[in-house]
Amino acid sequence: MRDMAPVAVVPRKRRGVELALIIFALGLALGAYALVDLNVTGELSTAFPYVAGICSLVAALAHIAVRWRLPYADPVILPCVILLNGLGLVMIHRIDLINEPPLNGARQQLIWTALGVLMFILVVTWLNDHRPLQGFTYTIGLAGIVLLLLPLVPGLGTEKFGAQIWIQVGPYSFQPAEAAKVLLAIAFASYLVEKRDVLALAGYRVLGIDLPRARDLGPILVMWLISLAILVWQRDLGTSLLFFGLFVMMLYVSTERAGWAVLGTLLFAAGAYFGYLNFSHVRRRVGAWLDPFSDFDAYYQVIAAQFGMAWGGLLGTGLGLGRPGLTPLARSDFIAAAIGEELGMTGLMAVIMIYGLIVARGLRIALQCREPFGKLLATGLSFALALQVFTIIGGVTRLLPLTGLTTPFMSQGGSSLICNWIVAGLLLVISHQVRKPAATVTPINPDLEQTQLVKAGV
Amino acid sequence: MNKPIRRVAFVAMIMFALLLANGTYMIIFRQSTLDSQPQKRRVRDAEFAQNRGAILAGGRTEIAKTVSAKDRFKYQRVYPDDELYAAITGFYSYDRGSSALESTYNAQLSGTDDALFVRRLIDLATNKTPKGASVQTTIVPEIQEAAATALGDQKGAVVALDPKTGAVLAMVTSPSFDPNDIASHDIEAAGKAYDRLASNPQHPMSNRAAREIYPPGSTFKLVTAAAALADGKTPDSLVESPDRLKLPGTRVSLPNSSDCGGTEITMTQALKVSCNTAFANLGLEVGEDKLREQAQLFGFDRRHLADLKGVASQFPDKLDEAQLALSAIGQYDVAASPLQMAMVSAAIANDGVLMDPYIVSTVRAQDLQPIQTHKPDALSTAMTPENAKELQQMMSVVVSEGTGRNAQIPGVEVGGKTGTAQSDPKRKPFAWFTSFAPLDDPKIAVAVIVEDADIPRNDIGGGRLAAPIAKATMEAAL
C-alpha cells in the first residue's frame, strides 16, 4: 500500500532541449548567411560579425525570458520561429545583394526582428498568463475590427501592389491586418467561450446537420460582411479568407457543431463566387492561377515565380547562385519562390515542414489545455498560421490563386514579423500554463500521518 | 472540444500535405515545360553565359570562338574575321536568336546535346567547367579569303565545292554583316545593330549563296546540254541557230545576244558562244519532261545544305512551248541558287555523280573525340560518265576559246560557263559564272553571281565580271 502514495506528474521542463535546438537553428541561419556572402561576393561582408552577434544575442534573450518566466513552455516552437526568421533574413540579405550597391533590407529586417523579439519577451514576462485577456473581449474585438478596416479610411490607407491593406502615417507604413489577426483571435476565443452554449444547443436539425437559430446567426453574418468588405474595398482576397476562415473554424471548435463549418464554407464560397463575378482583380488572380501563360505580361509575377522554382529544381541553385531578383516582390510575398529557387524544392518543403511543426505543436497545446479559452485561443492562433502559410505558399506554388498575404516570420516587413512573434509568445504562454504542475495541496494520508507520529514519538 | 480540435488538426495536416504534394508535382511534371519556355530569362542567360564550342575552318582557324569576359555572362562570343564567315557561322545573340551554324548546331556548341550527356556528367563529377563541342566546317580559309577579296564590295555570292565529296570549300555573300555587333553583351546596342541590319534594304544578313534564288540565265544551258546528251545528241550534233527564233504560239521572237557563227552549229559551238536560239531549239527537242528530269538530277526542286537552311532551286511546271524554249536558256521561271549552279558544275566535273553538299565535317567534344562525322554521300547520278566527259570538254572550250576566257588559268585546264540573266527589264542584269578545275582531276567547282552588274546584256559581259572571281577562287584551291 505504501507504494501507492500519490505522485504528482511533473512535466519535464526541457529548456536544455530548447537551447540545443536554438543553437542548431542559429547555426543553420548564420551559416546560410555566410554562404550567401561567399557565393555572391566571394568574401564575408564586414557586417557579418555584427549580424551574427545581434542574432545570437536576440535568440539568447528570448531563450532566457522563456527559461525565467515560462519554464514549462513548449521547447520546439521558439527554435522553429528563430530558424524561419533567420532564413527570411538570409533571403532578404541575398536579394539585397542583387542591387548595386546592395540595399539594406536585411538591416531593416534585423531591426524588426529585434522589435519582434522584444514584443515576444514582453508577452512572455509581463503577460505571462493568457487568461486575463478573457476580460477584454469586446475592447480587443473592437480594436481588431477597427484595425482591419482602418486602411479604408480616406487619407490613411494607401494602396500598394493593387491591395489597400496598408496605412500610412508620415513615413511609416503599417499593415494592420497582421495585428488584427492576433487581436481577433483573442476576441473570438473569449467571445465564443462565453456564448458557445447558446450557439451550440439551440437550433434545428435538418438532414442530420444541426442548424443554428436565425438570431444566433448574427456574429457569423457580421464577420462574413466584414470579410466581404475587405475583399471588395481592400481588394485583398487573402486577408478576407484568413479572417473568415479563422472565425468559422473557432465557431466550429467551440460549439462542436459541424453545421457552423458547413454554413461558413457555403458563405465563403458564395462570397468568393460573387467576387469572381464582379471584380476584375479577383478574376485576374484566378486567371493567373489556371493558365498563367495565357497572358505573359499580366501574369508575369506568377510566371516568374514558377520559372524561379523550376530553375532551382529539386536541390536548388545554391544560396546566392540563383536569380531570385527576376521575380517581383521576391523579398516579401514571393520569398517562398526565392527559397524554392536557391534551396530547391527540398529546401522549400523543409520550410513548409517547419511551419507544420509549429502548427502541430500549437494544436497539441490546444488539446492538452484544460480550460476552454486557452484551448480555443491556441487552436485559433495555430490554425491562422496554417491557413496563412497554406494560402501564401500555395499561391506562390500555384496550388491556389495568389493572394497577398505575408509569409509568416520570413517576408520582409515589420508589422507581420512583430505580430507573428507575439503569436509565438502567446502559444508559449498557453503551453506553460498547460504544462506547469498544478499547485496542489498534498492530500493528507492518515497512514502516513500515523507513521510519522510513531517516528516523532521516539 | 477535443474532437473538433482533432478535426481541425486533420484539416491543417491536409493543407500541409497538399503544399508538399504540389511541390512534388511541380518538380516532376511542370519543371521541364517551364524550363523550356522561351521567355525564361534564367535559361537564356545561362545559355548565353556558356563556354560555347568553337566553329573551325580548315582545321585550325577559329571562325567563331568563345573568350572569357569580365561581365555578368563570363564568356563572350567572338568572330575573329568579322564579316568573312558571317554567312556560315551566323550570329549568336542574347535576345535576337541565332542563325546559320550557331543555330543549327546550338545543342552541340552549347553542350546540351544528348551525345554529350556522359561527358556532362563527368564534368560535373570532376568539377570542370563544361565546354560545348566544336564544329569543324569544310571551309578552306584561303579559298574563302580569295573569293571574298575577288568579289569585293560587289553585291553577289560565291560558292565553291569539292566535286568529289560535295564539301563546301568557300561560301561568300556580299554585302555581309559583322556578327560581333549582334553578339555584344551590351544587349541594347546588340539589339539596335540587329534591327539596323534587318531593316537594311541591301539585306546584309541574307545568305545569297544558299538561301536566295535567281534566274540562272545561260549557266542553265549546261543542264539543257546534259539533257540533250542524255537524249542521244553528241557534242558534234548540229542544231539550228537562227538569228531570231519565233517562239511557238506567240508573236514574240527570241533574239541571240551575240553572233552564233552560223544558222546551224554544233552543240560545242553553241555552248562556246552561248547561243540562245540553239539551246532554245535543243530544249524544244528534248521536251519539258526530260529537261525537268535532268534539272532534278542536278538537284533542282530539292533543298540542299540543311545546316544553313538552303532553299530549293526551281524548274517551273506546266510549260507551253514558248515557256519551254525560254526555260531551256535559264529564263522564264527557272530560278537557281549559286549553290545549285556550283552543284551542276561539280556533278559534271565528277563524271556525272552529284555529291550531296555539306559544310560540317566533324563535331568534336571538348576532349576532341568526334561525336558526329559526315561521310560524303552521292545524291544522284546526273549524267553517264561518257556524257559527263563530253560536257567537260565542251565547257573547257568555253573557257579556252569562248565567252569564259576570263577564267583561264595558265597551265590548268578549266571548264566553265558564263551567264547573264535578268528577272526584270528595269533591273540591272545578274552576271553568272560557273566552272571547275582542273579538267582531268577536278579539285574545285565554283559558282559566282554578281547582282545588279553594270554590264551589257550579253554573255561576254557576264563572263567579264563574274569569271575573274571564279578564277581567283579556283586558283586558291589549286
Classify residue B261: in a domain, yes or no. yes
Q: Which amino acid is at A438?
A: A
Are the C-beta atoms of A336 and A397 separated by less than 8 Å?
A: yes
Eight-class DSSP state of B336: B
Q: Render the burial of B229-260: b for 16+ CB within 10 Å, e for the rest.
A: bbeebebeeebebbeebebeeeeeebebbeeb
- Count chain A–chain B contacts defined by CB atoms under 8 A: 108
Classify residue B252: in a domain, yes or no. yes
Classify residue B183: in a domain, yes or no. no
In B, which residues are within 8 Å of A372 by CB distance? 1
> Whose CA is closest to A117, among A207, A56, A201?
A56
Whether residue A6 has pLDDT greater than 60? no
Give percent above pLDDT 90 in chain B: 27
Calculate mean pLDDT across residues A227-246. 83
Classify residue B284: in a domain, yes or no. yes
| Number of domains composing chain B | 1
Classify residue B107: in a domain, yes or no. no
pLDDT of residue B356: 93
- List the single range of A83-87, A101-105, A359-363 with lowest mean pLDDT: A101-105
Of B4, B19, B40, the CB nearest to A253: B4
In B, which residues are within 8 Å of A308 by CB distance? 42
Whether residue B358 has pLDDT greater than 70? yes
Check A326 against B41: CB less than 8 A apart: yes
Of B19, B24, B30, the CB nearest to A393: B19
Of A249, A307, A360, the CB nearest to B42: A307
User: Hey, what's the torsion of the CAs at B144, B147, B152, B157, to 10 degrees?
Assistant: -90
Quick: pLDDT tens for B184-200: 888 788 888 888 888 88
Check A394 against B35: CB less than 8 A apart: no
Considering only alpha carbons, which residue of chain A is nearest residue B39?
A296
Considering only alpha carbons, which residue of chain A is nearest residue B24?
A345
- In the stretch 204-263 of chain A, residues with CB closer than 8 A to chain B read 249, 252-254, 256
Whether residue A376 lies within 8 A of chain B, CB to CB, comes out as yes
Check A397 against B37: CB less than 8 A apart: no
d(CA B463, CA A80): 86
Residue B459 — pLDDT band, cuts 50, 70, 90? Answer: low
Q: Is B218 designated active site?
A: yes
State the smallest CA–CA distance between residue B367 and chain A in angstroms: 27
pLDDT of residue A28: 95
Quick: pLDDT tens for A351-371: 999 999 999 999 999 999 988
Strands A209-211, A204-206: pairing is antiparallel
C-alpha grid cell, residue A397:
506554388
Of A363, A375, A389, the CB nearest to B9: A363
d(CA A315, CA B405): 71
Of B3, B23, B34, the CB nearest to A307: B34
Q: What is the pTM of this model?
A: 0.69
d(CA A423, CA B462): 90
d(CA A374, CA B2): 12
State the smallest CA–CA distance between residue A366 and chain B in angstroms: 8
Domain that holds residue B430: 217-359+375-477
Helix A218-233 × helix A237-255 angle, to 10°: 170
Check B16 against A308: CB less than 8 A apart: no
d(CA A130, CA A427): 9
- In the stretch 296-315 of chain A, residues with CB closer than 8 A to chain B read 296, 303, 306-311, 313-314
> Whose CA is closest to B471, among B442, B441, B419, B433?
B433
State the smallest CA–CA distance between residue B35 and chain A in angstroms: 6
State the smallest CA–CA distance between residue B10 and chain A in angstroms: 10
CATH of the domain at B419: 3.40.710.10
Classify residue B3: in a domain, yes or no. no
Whether residue A365 lies within 8 A of chain B, CB to CB, comes out as no
Calculate mean pLDDT across residues A40-51. 89
Rg of chain A (C-alpha set): 24
Answer positive or negative: Cα dihedral of B206, B210, B213, B218: positive
Check B34 against A326: CB less than 8 A apart: no
Mutation for A interface: B2, B3, B5, B45, most A CBs within 10 A:
B5
Calculate mean pLDDT across residues A81-89. 95
Give percent above pLDDT 90 in chain A: 40
Considering only alpha carbons, which residue of chain B is nearest residue A351?
B20
- In the stretch 383-402 of chain A, residues with CB closer than 8 A to chain B read 383, 386-387, 389-390, 393-394, 397-399
Quick: pLDDT tens for A117-145: 999 999 999 988 888 888 888 899 889 88
Classify residue B200: in a domain, yes or no. no
Calculate mean pLDDT across residues A161-183. 74
Predicted complex ipTM: 0.90
B478 vs A78: which has the higher pLDDT: A78
Q: Which amino acid is at A391?
A: T
Question: How many other CB atoms are there within 10 angstroms of residue B269's CB atom?
Answer: 23
Chain B contact residues (CB < 8 Å to A)? 1-6, 8-9, 12-13, 15-16, 18-20, 22-24, 26-27, 30-32, 34-35, 37, 39-43, 45
Are the C-beta atoms of A402 and A454 separated by less than 8 Å?
A: no
In A, which residues are within 8 Å of B12 by CB distance? 359-360, 363, 382-383, 386
Check B18 against A390: CB less than 8 A apart: yes
State the smallest CA–CA distance between residue A29 and chain B in angstroms: 22
* Residue from B99, B218, B327, B396 carrying the catalytic annotation: B218
Phi-psi region of A452 (alpha: psi -120 to 50; beta: other; left: phi over 0): alpha
Calculate mean pLDDT across residues A449-453. 56
Quick: pLDDT tens for B115-153: 667 766 676 666 566 678 889 999 999 999 999 998 888
Classify residue B398: in a domain, yes or no. yes
pLDDT of residue A176: 83
